Amino acid sequence: MRTQRTCARGACPSSPSVEQIDAEIAALAAIIRENHAMLEIWGRISSINVRKVAFTAQLLHLPFERVGAGAAFGIPKTPEYLARNPNALVPTLEGAAAMVELVRSVAAR
């Protein structure tokens, strides 16, 4: 259930339009394509958060490779994985810092 948002002094910033979100997503996807040949998505595909990122990459035609990682693999506790993601959570992305913002933009819809 959503709660009603209240803003200080009655002035709430307006939400971005669908067109603004589309433009932002397109711009971020272009940056990723220009700067990175391949994304690495670390995590098990059974994780909903990993699936969100993989789906977004597929939707935007961004090439990616999924690397199996998760508690079942024992990988999140290794020094190599902790260097990538100190929180030891999945997904972890290599090659696209902007991907997190891209997923947030899609989720905002």
Give dist(CA 109, CA 102) in Å, integer.
12
In the predicted model, is pLDDT for residue 47 greater than 60? yes
- Go through the domains of the chain in sequence order and give each one's CATH number: 17-108 (3.40.30.10)
Question: Would you state the pLDDT for residue 6?
Answer: 58
**pLDDT 10s digits, 58-109:** 888 888 888 888 777 777 778 887 887 777 777 777 765 545 555 665 566 5
